[in-house]
Every structure is written in C-alpha cells, then in structure tokens.
Amino acid sequence: MSALPGAAPDAEAIRRVAERARAGFPAPFARLAAEVRLVVEDWPSEAVLDDMEIEDGYDLTGLYEGVPLTERSVEWPEPPSTVTLFRRPILDEWAARGDVTLAALVAHVTVHEFAHHFGWSDDDIARIDRWWE
C-alpha cells in the first residue's frame, strides 16, 4: 500500500482503498454512494473536533458531512455530501489494534461513514455491524 517499505501509506493510497470499498457496495447503494465526495485528510480540523466535542483528534477516523438520504426533500436541493477519512487516526488505530489489515480498517471506516449517508445512526450501525467489538 505504500511506495517505500515500512513507510506509512499516503492519503492517495488510503483514498484508493476507500474507493475500492465504495465500488463494492451492492445496488442500489452503489449508485447513491457515487454522488458523495470522498476525501482523505491527515487530521480532523480543530473546528470539527470542537463542533463534535472531541478532545483528541486520534478519536475521529472518519466523518460524514451532509444531509442523510432519509432526511432529504425533493423540494429543497441539498449540497453534495462528503465522506472524509482521517489518515493519521486510521494509521494509529491500525497500529494499536494489530488484529486487522490496514485495508480492512480503511474499508470498514468507509462503509461506516457511508452508512450515515444512507440515514443510519451510530446505534443502527452498531446493531448491524459488531466489527468494532
């Protein structure tokens, strides 16, 4: 996943893994997910952390920003949604866990954030997906 042996993968390498995860979504989710902007940044901004009341940037691996499909109105167009993955917190969690591949972790964070786009809450996701346990 990285160009140099032992080097941490860059944002583009993480984005490619996330894009592969998105490409694997079943219909009709694949079409709906294609409308979402997918970006990778090293860290969440201080403004995002403050807004979410998160003290440590390592605690946020991904973020969905937008209006979930279940809350949209045909009468009021919504701006494009964005899923952002945070490279450094993902790498830190991967190193700390030691029980999953980096690609599996990136894919899982990607799926989790897209689930918010589809209108699922964290509680909904937890009932369906016990991956984090």
CA dihedral 97, 123, 78, 27 (to 10 degrees): 80
Q: Report if residue 2 sits inside a domain.
A: no
In a domain, 38, yes or no: yes
Structural domain tally of the chain? 1
For residue 78, the model assigns a pLDDT of 72
Q: Would you place residue 76 in the very low, low, confident or very high pLDDT band (cuts 50, 70, 90)?
A: low
Burial of 61 (0-12, 13-18, 19+ CB in 10 A): buried
pLDDT number for residue 32? 84
Q: Tell me the mean pLDDT in the region 53-76.
A: 86
- pLDDT for the residue 118: 82
72 falls within a domain: yes
**Of 133 and 24, which is predicted with more confidence?**
24
Residue 6 forms part of a structural domain: no
Distance between alpha carbon 6 and the CA centroid of its chain, in Å?
24
Residue 132 sits at φ, ψ, to 5 deg, of -75, -15
| pTM (two decimals) | 0.84
Would residue 102 count as lying in a domain?
yes
Residue 3 in domain: no
User: Domain span at residue 96?
Assistant: 11-128
Do the domain assignments include residue 67?
yes
Question: DSSP label at 57?
Answer: G
Q: Has residue 54 got a pLDDT over 90?
A: yes
The CATH number of the domain holding residue 51 is: 3.30.2010.20
Instruction: Using DSSP, state whether 83 is helix, strand or coil.
Output: strand
Tokens of 24: 């694997």
Confidence grade of residue 48 (pLDDT, cut at 50, 70, 90): very high
How far, in Å, CA of 55 to CA of 53, rounded? 6
Predicted pLDDT at 18: 96
Residue 43 has pLDDT above 60, yes or no: yes
What tens digit of pLDDT does each residue of 24-35 get? 888 888 888 888
First to last CA, the chain: 26
